[in-house]
Amino acid sequence: MACKAPGGSKKKYIYYQCNVCKAYIREEKLIKLLIDEIASIMEYDNTIKKFFAPLLKHKIENTNNY
């Protein structure tokens, strides 16, 4: 993505443009999307650690006992 900031005397908005599809997205929206995606990844990681890691650990320990 490439950053673009249009000129002018009013409030300036920063846009990012995809180098492949040439679509634009405003910086504020991009930041919100990134924060939401990072939060989703963190929630998924916490779920894995809380529920699946103990099961996998138990399975590994039982496999090593044979």
The pLDDT tens digits for 14-52 are 899 988 998 999 999 999 999 999 999 999 888 888 888
Number of separate domains in the chain: 1
Kindly state the average pLDDT of the residues 45-60: 84
In degrees and rounded to multiples of 5, residue 65 shows phi and psi of: -80, -10
Please give the full DSSP string across the chain, using - where no structure is assigned: -EEE----SS----EEE-TTT--EEEHHHHHHHHHHHHHHHHHHHHHIIIIIHHHHHHHHHHHHT-
Q: What is the pLDDT of residue 48?
A: 84
The residue segments making up the domain with residue 8 are 2-64
Q: What is the pLDDT of residue 12?
A: 77
Q: What is the pTM of this model?
A: 0.60
Q: What is the pLDDT of residue 42?
A: 92
Whether the pLDDT of residue 66 is over 60: the answer is: no
